[in-house]
């Protein structure tokens, strides 16, 4: 029975020689020095200026509604409210263009009185104007990427027609597309 | 007895201050060593360069910073408490320990220790501290304070018995109740640690209980009764309690050295040489106490009481018997 | 910058009271990890106190459900001045995942914590890494010094 | 299978026309009327030793309310569950309580009374479980919004410091004994506890309501945040239910990785428990040592998933990220270090005379009481009940075709036995982990399959179970074919074990209270519900109801 105390003493004396404490606040680079932070670690977000097309898939999939997209004046802003995010990494996984990363940056604490003072990660992409009414439609880069995807995946026989159609449709906003669907030959009854 | 000289009066004034700083160093040692034993780093002895702007250079005086910080904080007084008693209890304890500190020799130096019955005075004054805590806890009207006071009272009965018996067995061997005399007896011959180890062990265990270190921190058991008698104290009053604890640490260790280790004096050397020895011995005793502190969980109050009766009290009594036997068989020694 | 002894002592020995106000426990165990061997906060003289009367830093985790909200306020009032409050974790800051999508209030949540007590430091993350918490506490020290 | 058929035949004979039966694979659904409920409960729990795992109420709008009694027989016969359904009319939603027949039902019924207008008649203690006593019953969302007035003041705030009786000790809501808010009103005689009343719900976040507003795939992350310590178990149980709904069979690799995560989490949870238990008996060093060992597990988590806690690995139809390549060898190495440290810890705990002294012989729970009150998890196993969902209804890779392992049990039933069971389980879990890693290293294959559209779900209700570190976890998910679940009901393990607390506590000293409460590893973020089962129950209830204002004194 007393053996436990002897064992513990030995263990403690061994511990005394090898403390396992990290130097964190003293040396900034010691973040995760013992754990080799993996490339998929989930810290503060970063939008890739080039890759992100502004489709807003991350906003739809976000499990705590921390990512919001707001359109204003030919610009779409995706903003991540870090103070609401749960860092599940779903946005990164779902991103079709791999335009959103979670960096291993964990020093995100801030002074502040309320949630508005918390860090926000924002990214804006330009929206293309509707050819007809001039209102903002979709992000320009998203239109391009959709075109690219469609032309990659479509049956080559239809490629020319589809490409031509897309040239017209993609520049209209949904409302204008609806009203102009006869002219654009997209109305379902048109073919009858 | 001749009139006290200026130096003597100065020593009376300065001794508590020295004791206080010793207590702070001991407090740091407990924290640092227990941290290291738990494979942590503990309060930095030297703060890394990049943090010195915010955190200062060293943490050696960590308990002192705690006390200064608490002194500058507001103290809240619960409306349900008995206010006068609640406020005065820490000050009663403080008076007790300051006077006791003046009596306790630091490295054999103490003017007051040479009085007859100085050992009785110290033990008596130390008894005042738990009494003041019990009063304060009971006056706070917090259920935790009350339970803490109750436990403190029970534990006090348990540890005071071996403490007093062990101290008096030493007095018996030295044939004096003056601490200075006890030191002098040891300085010329062997320290009582070797002559009466039973009492020494009993005394050490008793002061562990007195200082509320594990396994006897029952009155302050955090997860059970928050902070015991100190639950409702905050700010300045808590600072006073911390100061009392710091003093208590230094006094208990100093008393142990005085009674069992010849107050740090080494036979055959200058009296001045006793200062480093005293420090070293003090740090060693605290080290031993820290080891016990880290190695054990907390006793339940009933277990603590039974254990105190079973082990240290028996040890102390056998130490007393041994002391009488020693006196009887080696009268020349004393 | 020269500091008086009082300000120094304040920054050198902050004691933390951890108030759990709902939430899923992740923040709480990460805070426990801050005091465990790997991220030992006692290096900086910081101690975890279980008594609000002894505390300087009031660390709140969780979205503050309605039932505990008044208690939280009351415990905050028991911390003697000067004090700093840290909201630790996303749900303490905004309610995090416990918010409803349609922005209507969740019937059970009385928070976020900022509604109940004045907050000084925000530590986002779900749960925040111990490094984030330590960084937040370092910021709190700066704030505490100038209180 | 003879036993199951016996039960069905017996029910048919007894109930005759009042009874309709729909076969599932091994999960049976019955329809009956409300007069027969008590009879069925007597029959199933009395004669066949079925466990009542939960009582759910589903609000069907104009069609009234559906009360479902979930009986589990899987501890006798793998996978077998009986679900007895009763339809109640919306104008008179009343049904007789069965909590005198099956005491486990008491809490579930109270919970359901709180959230739905269904009344369980003759319930012994119809107070609120989770919500403040002052709230209306049932709670209606419009009314509740008035509960925060314009100044942000909450009208149910407690009075300022009441003068407490000296012998009446409040433990909580803020008390160092538990990090989380819980309120125990303990009546003391000297230092001995004579009576306990519990009020929980300080952590109630309305999660079951939140589930009803989120799509199935987003619900996974909400399930993960029900509890931070057993988050994988929660997601696994939720996904077991959702995947049964959709008829999804996840690939083997996903099964192994789910098991890997769940077992890592079990180790983490048990090590954390050991640390907290150490703290509760004042053993700071044990706390530090076990948290040091725990960091190894967190390192494994981080290298596998990218986050120390909340791995977010489980998705509908599989998992998010593969575990392959050199990370497996690294994990194996870390596992060895962790195992060595844990073995050391076990030796220390086992041989330290003082820990033994503090833990042995307190908080005794005998097998009969454990079975009767429906203890689950390590608490039940420490009383000698061989009850483990991982073997009684295997999910993920726990079946014998994937991994082989044994259930750890102990006969003592006291706090010490619970500690021993948990410590041994760490080693068993490490064993399972090694098997999983080996299987992952040798096999290849997909890690997830396409999830079915909620429109094409095969069933419209399903039961999902998992063995969380604290015991059996039950999710009941109802689908109506839309994108979001119609209803989700959760029964957490601590919900059951907390019910035992008043029983365990009375007769012990205040100094033992923390470790006894800690010994069942209560997790109030999971649970957040309340109970009183003590001998002087009735008297105390009235006392408690009268003083619903909580004094909190610190």
Contact A109 C112 (CB under 8 A): no
Contacts of D174 in chain C (CB under 8 A): 19-20, 52, 71, 75
Burial class (CB within 10 angstroms; exposed 0-12, middle 13-18, buried 19+) of D311: buried
Q: Is the peptide bond before A75 cis (omega within 30 degrees of 0)?
A: no
> Are C144 and C11 a contacting pair, CB within 8 Å?
yes
Q: Residue D156 falls within a domain, yes or no?
A: no
| Residue B274 confidence class, pLDDT cut points 50, 70, 90 | confident
Neighbours, chain A (3 or more CB pairs < 8 A): B, C, D
- Residue-range definition of the domain harbouring residue C53: 5-145
φ/ψ (deg, to 5) at D406: -120, 155
Mean pLDDT, chain B, rounded, equals 83
The tokens 């008076």 sit on which residue? B95
In whole angstroms, give the CA distance from residue D218 to residue D208. 13
Number of CB atoms found within 10 A of residue C14's CB: 25
| Residue D216 confidence class, pLDDT cut points 50, 70, 90 | confident
pLDDT reported for residue B197 = 86
| Residue D143 confidence class, pLDDT cut points 50, 70, 90 | very low
Contact A16 B50 (CB under 8 A): no
Mean pLDDT, chain D, rounded, equals 77
Name the DSSP letter for residue D178. Answer: B
Identify the CATH number of the domain in which residue D88 sits.
3.30.460.80
Beta bridge partners of C84: C57
Size (chain A), residues: 192
Interface of C with D in 55-84 (CB under 8 A): 62-63, 65-71, 73-75, 78
Contacts of D291 in chain C (CB under 8 A): 32-33, 36-38
Mean pLDDT, chain A, rounded, equals 80
Q: Which residues of chain A have pLDDT under 50?
A: 192
| Residue D144 confidence class, pLDDT cut points 50, 70, 90 | very low
pLDDT reported for residue A187 = 66
Close Cβ partners of B10 (under 8 Å, ≥ 6 residues apart): none
Contact C12 B56 (CB under 8 A): yes
Contacts of B56 in chain C (CB under 8 A): 8, 12
Number of CB atoms found within 10 A of residue B50's CB: 13
In whole angstroms, give the CA distance from residue B229 to residue B222. 11
| Residue C2 confidence class, pLDDT cut points 50, 70, 90 | low
In whole angstroms, give the CA distance from residue B2 to residue C144. 54
**Residue B104 C-alpha from the chain's centroid:** 11
* Digit-coded pLDDT (tens) for D418-442: 888 888 888 888 888 888 888 888 8
Burial A59-85 (b: 16+ CB within 10 A, else e): bebbbbbbbebebeeeebebbbbbbbb
Angle made by CA atoms B227, D510, D278, in degrees to the nearest 5: 70
Interface of D with C in 174-213 (CB under 8 A): 174-176, 179-181, 201-207, 209-210, 213
**Three-state SS across chain B?**
CCCCCHHHHHHHHHHHHHHHHHHHHHHHHHHHHHHHHCCCCCCCCCCCHHHHHHHCCCCCCHHHHHHHHHHCCCCCCCCCCCHHHHHHHHHHHHHHHHHHHHHCCECCECCHHHCCCHHHHHHHHHHHHHHHHHHHHHHCCCHHHHHHHHHHHHHHHHHHHHHHHHHHHHHHHHCCCCHHHHHHHHHHCCCHHHHCHHHHHHHHHHHHHHCCCCCCCHHHCHHHHCCHHHCCCCHHHHHHHHHHHHHHHHHHHHHHHHHHCHHHCCCCCCHHHHHHHHHHHHHHHHHHHHHHHHHCCCCCHHHHHHHHHHHHHHHHHHHHHHHHHHHHHCHHHC
**Residue B38 C-alpha from the chain's centroid:** 24
The tokens 């020095």 sit on which residue? A33
> Are B250 and B154 a contacting pair, CB within 8 Å?
no
Of residues B108 and D111, more confidently modeled = D111
- B30–D contact, CB cutoff 8 A: no
| Residue D548 confidence class, pLDDT cut points 50, 70, 90 | very low
Mean pLDDT, residues D451-477 taken together = 84
Name the DSSP letter for residue D173. Answer: S
Contacts of D292 in chain B (CB under 8 A): 39
pLDDT reported for residue C47 = 85
Mean pLDDT, residues B21-26 taken together = 90
In whole angstroms, give the CA distance from residue B36 to residue B54. 24
Size (chain B), residues: 334
Q: Which of A2, A7, A19 to mutate to test the interface with B (most CBs of B within 10 A)?
A: A19
Q: Is the pLDDT of residue D443 over 50?
A: yes
pLDDT reported for residue A132 = 79
Contacts of B297 in chain D (CB under 8 A): 278, 281-283, 286, 352, 354-355, 358
Residue D292 tokens read as 């040091």
CATH number of A32-191: 3.30.70
Contact C118 A113 (CB under 8 A): yes
- Residue-range definition of the domain harbouring residue D183: 165-204+497-546
Q: Is the pLDDT of residue D540 over 50?
A: no
Neighbours, chain B (3 or more CB pairs < 8 A): A, C, D
Mean pLDDT, residues C107-114 taken together = 78
Q: Which of C11, C18, C42 to mutate to test the interface with B (most CBs of B within 10 A)?
A: C42
- The percent of chain C in helix, strand and coil, each rounded to the nearest 5, is 45, 15, 40
In whole angstroms, give the CA distance from residue B10 to residue B6. 6
pLDDT reported for residue C1 = 45
Ramachandran area for residue D101 (φ above 0: left; ψ -120 to 50: alpha; else beta)? alpha
pLDDT reported for residue D218 = 85
CA neighbor of D223 nearest in space, from D302, D312, D112:
D312
> Are B165 and B318 a contacting pair, CB within 8 Å?
no
In whole angstroms, give the CA distance from residue B277 to residue C71. 53
pLDDT reported for residue B105 = 83
Contacts of C36 in chain D (CB under 8 A): 275, 287-288, 291-292, 294-295
Mean pLDDT, residues D342-363 taken together = 84
| H helix or E strand, kind and range, residue D475 | strand D471-478
Q: Indicate whether D419 and D539 sit together in one domain.
A: no
Ramachandran area for residue C26 (φ above 0: left; ψ -120 to 50: alpha; else beta)? alpha
Q: Indicate whether D200 and D97 sit together in one domain.
A: no
Residue D13, min C-alpha distance to chain A (Å): 49
φ/ψ (deg, to 5) at B12: -65, -40
Residue C26, min C-alpha distance to chain D (Å): 4
Coil, strand, or helix at residue C29?
helix
Helices (H) and strands (E) in chain C, counts: 6, 5
Instruction: Return the beta strands (E) in D200-274 as ranges.
Output: none
Q: Indicate whether D275 and D336 sit together in one domain.
A: yes
Residue C66 tokens read as 């309605």
* Digit-coded pLDDT (tens) for C20-79: 887 788 888 888 888 888 888 888 888 888 888 888 889 888 888 877 777 788 788 878
Structurally, chain C folds into a number of domains equal to 1
Q: Which of B45, B51, B65 to mutate to test the interface with C (most CBs of C within 10 A)?
A: B65
Interface of B with D in 269-298 (CB under 8 A): 294-298
Q: Indicate whether D287 and D412 sit together in one domain.
A: yes
Show which of D95, D126, D157 is a domain's final residue.
Answer: D126
In whole angstroms, give the CA distance from residue D417 to residue D360. 8
Close Cβ partners of D150 (under 8 Å, ≥ 6 residues apart): none
End-to-end Cα separation, chain D, in angstroms: 58
* Digit-coded pLDDT (tens) for B211-232: 888 888 877 766 667 777 777 7
| Greatest alpha-carbon span in chain A | 94
Mean pLDDT, chain C, rounded, equals 83
Q: Which of C2, C10, C15, C54 to mutate to test the interface with B (most CBs of B within 10 A)?
A: C54
Across the interface, which of B40, B217, B300 has its CB nearest the CB of D509? B300
Where along chain A do its domains lie? 32-191
**For the residues of D271-310, what is the DSSP string, one character each?**
HHHHHHHHHHTT-HHHHHHHHHHHHHHHHHHHHHHSSSS-
In whole angstroms, give the CA distance from residue D147 to residue C107. 9
Q: Residue D257 falls within a domain, yes or no?
A: yes
| Residue D298 confidence class, pLDDT cut points 50, 70, 90 | confident
Beta bridge partners of A121: A80
Contacts of B74 in chain C (CB under 8 A): 80-81
Q: Residue D449 falls within a domain, yes or no?
A: yes
Minimum mean pLDDT range among B265-269, D160-164, D389-393: D160-164
* Digit-coded pLDDT (tens) for B279-309: 888 899 999 999 888 888 888 888 888 888 8
CA neighbor of D72 nearest in space, from D97, D45, D46, D98:
D45
Minimum mean pLDDT range among B287-301, D130-144, D266-280, D302-316: D130-144
- B72–C contact, CB cutoff 8 A: yes
Name the DSSP letter for residue A44. Answer: S
End-to-end Cα separation, chain B, in angstroms: 24
């Amino acid at each position: 029975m007393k053996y436990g105390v002897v064992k513990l003493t030995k263990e403690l004396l061994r511990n005394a020689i090898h403390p396992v404490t990290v130097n964190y606040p003293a040396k900034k680079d010691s973040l995760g020095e013992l754990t080799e932070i993996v490339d998929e670690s989930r810290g503060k977000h970063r939008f890739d200026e080039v890759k992100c097309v502004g489709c807003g898939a991350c906003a739809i999939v976000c499990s705590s509604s921390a990512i919001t997209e707001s359109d204003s004046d030919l610009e779409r802003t995706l903003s991540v409210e870090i103070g609401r995010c749960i860092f599940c990494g779903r946005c990164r996984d779902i991103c079709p263009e791999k335009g959103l990363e979670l960096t291993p940056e964990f020093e995100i604490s801030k002074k502040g009185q309320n949630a508005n003072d918390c860090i926000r990660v924002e990214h804006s992409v330009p929206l293309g104007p509707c050819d007809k009414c001039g209102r903002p439609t979709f992000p320009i880069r998203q239109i391009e990427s959709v075109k690219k995807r469609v032309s990659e995946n479509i049956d080559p026989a239809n490629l020319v027609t589809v490409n031509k159609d897309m040239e017209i449709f993609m520049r209209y906003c949904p409302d204008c597309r609806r009203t102009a669907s006869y002219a654009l030959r997209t109305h379902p009854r048109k073919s009858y | 007895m001749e009139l006290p000289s200026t130096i003597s009066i100065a020593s009376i004034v300065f001794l508590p201050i020295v004791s206080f700083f010793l207590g702070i160093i001991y407090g740091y040692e407990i924290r640092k060593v227990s941290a290291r034993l738990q494979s942590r780093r503990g309060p930095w002895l030297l703060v890394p360069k990049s943090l010195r702007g915010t955190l200062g250079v060293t943490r050696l005086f960590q308990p002192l910073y705690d006390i200064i910080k608490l002194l500058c904080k507001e103290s809240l007084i619960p409306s349900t408490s008995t206010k006068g008693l609640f406020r005065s209890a820490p000050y009663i304890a403080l008076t007790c320990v300051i006077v006791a500190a003046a009596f306790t020799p630091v490295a054999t130096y103490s003017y007051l220790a040479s009085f007859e019955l100085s050992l009785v005075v110290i033990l008596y004054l130390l008894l005042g501290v738990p009494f003041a805590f019990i009063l304060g806890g009971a006056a706070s009207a917090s259920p935790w304070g009350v339970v803490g006071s109750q436990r403190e009272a029970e534990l006090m009965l348990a540890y005071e018995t071996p403490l007093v018996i062990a101290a008096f067995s030493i007095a018996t061997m030295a044939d004096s109740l003056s601490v200075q005399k006890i030191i002098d007896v040891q300085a010329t011959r062997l320290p009582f640690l070797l002559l009466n180890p039973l009492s020494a062990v009993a005394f050490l265990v008793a002061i562990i209980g007195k200082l509320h270190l594990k396994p006897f921190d029952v009155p302050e058991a955090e997860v059970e009764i928050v902070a015991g008698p100190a639950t409702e104290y905050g700010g300045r009053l808590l600072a006073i309690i911390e100061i009392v604890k710091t003093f208590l640490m230094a006094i208990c260790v100093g008393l142990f050295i005085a009674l069992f280790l010849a107050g740090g004096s080494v036979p055959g050397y200058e009296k001045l040489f006793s200062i480093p020895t005293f420090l070293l011995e003090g740090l060693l005793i605290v080290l031993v106490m820290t080891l016990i502190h880290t190695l054990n969980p907390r006793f339940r109050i009933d277990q603590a009481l039974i254990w105190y009766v079973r082990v240290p009290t028996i040890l102390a009594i056998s130490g007393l018997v041994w002391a009488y036997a020693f006196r009887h068989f080696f009268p020349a020694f004393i | 910058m020269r500091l008086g002894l009082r300000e120094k002592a304040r920054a050198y020995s902050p004691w933390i009271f951890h108030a759990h106000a709902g939430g899923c426990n992740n923040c709480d165990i990460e805070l426990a990890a801050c005091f465990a061997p790997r991220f030992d906060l006692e290096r900086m003289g910081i101690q975890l106190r279980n008594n609000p009367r002894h505390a300087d830093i009031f660390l709140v985790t969780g979205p503050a459900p309605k039932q505990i909200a008044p208690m939280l306020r009351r415990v905050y009032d028991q911390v003697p001045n000067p004090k700093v409050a840290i909201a630790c974790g996303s749900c303490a800051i905004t309610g995090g995942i416990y918010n409803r999508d349609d922005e209507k209030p969740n019937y059970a949540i009385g928070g976020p914590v900022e509604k109940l007590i004045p907050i000084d430091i925000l530590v986002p993350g779900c749960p925040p890494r111990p490094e984030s918490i330590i960084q937040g506490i370092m910021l709190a020290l700066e704030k505490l010094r100038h209180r | 299978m003879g036993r199951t058929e016996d039960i069905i035949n017996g029910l048919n004979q007894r109930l005759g026309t009042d009874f309709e039966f729909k076969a599932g694979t091994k999960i049976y659904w019955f329809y009956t009327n409300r007069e027969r409920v008590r009879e069925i409960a007597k029959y199933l729990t009395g004669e066949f030793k079925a466990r009542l795992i939960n009582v759910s109420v589903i609000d069907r709008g104009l069609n009234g309310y559906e009360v479902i009694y979930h009986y589990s027989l899987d501890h006798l016969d793998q996978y077998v569950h009986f679900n007895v359904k009763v339809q109640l009319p919306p104008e008179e939603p009343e049904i007789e309580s069965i909590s005198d027949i099956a005491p486990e039902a008491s809490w579930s019924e109270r919970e359901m009374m709180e959230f739905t207008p269904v009344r369980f008649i003759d319930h012994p203690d119809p107070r609120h479980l989770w919500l403040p006593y002052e709230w209306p019953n049932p709670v209606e969302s419009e009314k509740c919004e008035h509960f925060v007035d314009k100044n942000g003041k909450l009208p149910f705030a407690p009075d300022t410091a009441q003068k407490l009786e000296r012998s009446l000790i409040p433990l909580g809501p803020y008390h160092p004994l538990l990090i989380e808010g819980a309120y125990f009103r303990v009546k003391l005689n000297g230092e001995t506890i004579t009576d306990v009343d519990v009020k929980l719900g300080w952590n109630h976040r309305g999660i079951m309501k939140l589930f009803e507003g989120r799509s199935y795939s987003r619900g996974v992350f909400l399930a993960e945040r029900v509890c931070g310590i057993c988050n994988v178990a929660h997601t696994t149980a939720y996904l077991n239910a959702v995947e049964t709904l959709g008829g999804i069979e996840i690939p083997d690799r996903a099964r192994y990785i789910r098991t890997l995560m769940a077992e890592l989490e079990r180790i983490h949870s048990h090590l954390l428990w050991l640390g907290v238990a150490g703290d509760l008996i004042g053993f700071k060093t044990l706390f530090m040592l076990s948290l040091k060992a725990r960091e190894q597990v967190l390192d494994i988590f981080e290298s596998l998933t990218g986050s120390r806690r909340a791995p977010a690995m489980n998705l509908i139809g599989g998992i998010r990220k593969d575990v392959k390549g050199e990370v497996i060898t690294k994990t194996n190495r870390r596992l060895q270090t962790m195992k060595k440290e844990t073995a050391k810890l076990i030796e220390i705990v086992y041989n330290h005379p003082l820990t033994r002294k503090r833990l042995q012989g307190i908080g005794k729970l005998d097998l009969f009481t454990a079975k009767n009150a429906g203890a689950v998890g390590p608490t039940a196993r420490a009383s000698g009940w061989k009850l483990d969902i991982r073997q009684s209804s295997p999910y993920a890779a726990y079946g014998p075709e994937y991994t082989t392992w044994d259930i750890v049990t102990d006969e003592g039933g006291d706090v010490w036995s619970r500690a021993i069971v948990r410590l041994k389980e760490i080693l068993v879990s490490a064993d399972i982990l090694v098997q999983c890693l080996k299987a992952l290293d040798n096999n290849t294959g997909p890690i997830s399959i396409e999830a079915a559209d909620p429109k094409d779900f095969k069933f419209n209700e399903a039961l999902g179970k998992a063995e969380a570190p604290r015991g059996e976890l039950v999710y009941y998910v109802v689908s109506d074919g839309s994108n979001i679940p119609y209803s989700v009901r959760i029964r957490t393990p601590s919900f059951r074990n907390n019910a035992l607390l008043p029983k365990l506590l009375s007769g012990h000293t205040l100094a033992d209270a923390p470790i006894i409460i800690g010994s069942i590893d209560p997790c109030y973020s999971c649970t957040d519900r309340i109970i009183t089962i003590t001998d002087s129950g009735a008297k105390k209830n009235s006392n408690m109801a009268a003083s619903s204002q909580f004094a909190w004194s610190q």
